[in-house]
Amino acid sequence: MKVLVTGCGGFLGSNIVQQLLRRGDQVKGLGRSDYPELQRAGVDLVQGDVRNAAIVQQACQGVDAVIHTAAKAGIWGPWKTYHEINTVGTENVIAGCRKAGVKVLVYTSSPSVTFDGEDQTDVDESVPYPQHWLCAYPQTKALGEQAVLAAHQPGDLHTAALRPHLIWGLGDPHLFPRLVARAKSGRLRIVGDGNNMIDTVHVTNAAAAHLNALDQLTQWDDPDAGGKAFFITQGKPVNCWEWIAKVLEVHGVTPPTKRIGFESAWKAGAAFEKFYKLFRIKSEPPMTRFVAAQLAKDHSFDISAARKLLRYQPTVSDEEGLLEIAKSLA
């Protein structure tokens, strides 16, 4: 197959590209920057932004499938930017697929599209979208996800959305560096009672799940996975703060011992949000309601559907992933 990967230079996108190349697929990449290492690996690179419909349409030409990972992540920033990239950009990808006759579209979503600030304990894909949102990222990703799933047409365009939770691994530019920086500066606090359970996913497993979805959607009548969303995790929930402690210890950083109650963190987050919006401060607040809830609540997901319909099976364990990072830091 020839596969277009949007966000090809990102942490997840680049790992998807590598796995596609290793198994012999041709890869086209759409990214905002120039990636010489991808070009050297044989990727046909198109430089551009998913907000540009013409560029997206150009990138979709001549491919059999699209894996759409490009997005604006984060917990703070103007709604307009998140909506243009995560929602309108996704609509551009759908339109590009239709115009170019692309047969398969796999969308990288997020479990946060179902998060309303309360505990999520072993929930499956039947959990509804929330009525209220805590920040622009999950809402705009949910709108993108809904558009992708609605675009599924048996025998025409086959679509699915994957919801990987807390992607990590060697080369992670986001999650681990953020935790390490906060811990080193003394700004990381255990929020809540410290007993909340979470799911995560190693980047190798998350990337492989996208290839699984790609393969299942190529079944050319009405694939069982078509038009559905799937949670993607390690398949083994862990205690949030015990896991964070392991991550920090691997990086030679002392885990936090100071605590803040969830209610106090939530109220502080609400106050910071109001203050930053009032004075139009662009930098991220030290606490938000979304972050407070993410750090204090359960986030565990039933991946039975992904195992059954995508043939997804995590292959890299937490222990193996952390050992790989420890060796790289030695």
- Positions marked catalytic: 137
Q: Identify the CA nearest to 312 among candidates 210, 227, 239, 226.
A: 210
Cα 73-192-316 angle, rounded to 5 deg: 50
Rg over alpha carbons for the chain, rounded to the nearest Å, is 19
Q: What's the start-to-end Cα distance of the chain, in Å? A: 39
Q: Which residues contact 215 (CB under 8 A, 6 or more apart)?
A: 311
* HSE-up of residue 142 (Cα within 13 Å, Cβ side): 19
Query: How far is Cα 323 from Cα 317, in angstroms, rounded to an integer?
Result: 10
Q: What is the DSSP letter of 1?
A: -
Query: How far is Cα 69 from Cα 13, in angstroms, rounded to an integer?
Result: 6
Question: Could you tell me where the beta strands, DSSP code E, fall in 226-319?
Answer: 228-232, 238-239, 259-260, 299-301
Q: Which amino acid is at 164?
A: P
Contact assessment for residue 329 and residue 251, using Cβ atoms and an 8 Å cutoff: yes
Q: Which amino acid is at 130?
A: P
CA 230 to chain centre: 12
Strand partners, 123: 301
